[in-house]
């Protein structure tokens, strides 16, 4: 089984998937945030054999929720209901900026940010 990482944005949503041992996270795809997003993510999770999902948690420097957190929480709840998988939250502070610094700006940067979110979660879980 695999883990999936999600970098939720108001326009684009980055997706990452782990290897089967859940040791390494890899950028997978970038989806448009549209009315079909939830079904697309659920189908992707099923096709990839995902049994663990991690969603980026957007907070400011003071730890307060950013405005995007409301739709993130709604998406989390709907994703849990649609998959039957409890969705973990992982801080996403600066992940897109980190991905750009490591790889340069490109059209799949949101998937790279999702991989950083997922890798952070996997690393913490193993310690």
* CATH code, domain carrying 49: 3.30.420.140
- Given this model, what pLDDT does residue 64 score? 80
Place of tokens 């879980």: 125
> For residues 108 and 81, what is the distance between their CA atoms, to the nearest angstrom?
28
Q: Which segments in the chain show pLDDT lower than 50? A: none
Instruction: Output the CA–CA distances (angstroms, integers) from residue 4 to 18, 61, 65, 114, in the order listed.
Output: 6, 26, 22, 9
* Residue 111, beta-bridge partner list: none
- Given this model, what pLDDT does residue 99 score? 58
- Given this model, what pLDDT does residue 116 score? 92
- Given this model, what pLDDT does residue 61 score? 76
- Given this model, what pLDDT does residue 121 score? 96
Q: Which two tokens stand for residue 31?
A: 């989806």
> For residues 79 and 109, what is the distance between their CA atoms, to the nearest angstrom?
23
Range of the domain at 20: 2-63+70-125
pTM: 0.89
Domain total for the chain? 1
């Amino acid at each position: 089984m695999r883990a999936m990482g999600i970098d939720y944005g108001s326009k684009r949503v980055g997706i990452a998937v782990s290897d089967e041992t859940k040791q390494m996270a890899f950028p997978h795809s970038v989806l448009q945030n549209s009315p079909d997003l939830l079904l697309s993510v659920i189908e992707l999770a099923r096709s990839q054999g995902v049994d663990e999902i991690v969603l980026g948690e957007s907070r400011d420097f003071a730890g307060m929720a950013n405005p995007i957190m409301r739709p993130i929480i709604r998406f989390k709840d709907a994703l849990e209901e649609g998959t039957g998988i409890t969705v973990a939250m992982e801080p996403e502070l600066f992940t897109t900026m980190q991905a750009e610094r490591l790889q340069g700006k490109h059209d799949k940067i949101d998937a790279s940010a999702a991989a950083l979110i997922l890798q952070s979660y996997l690393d913490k879980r193993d310690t």
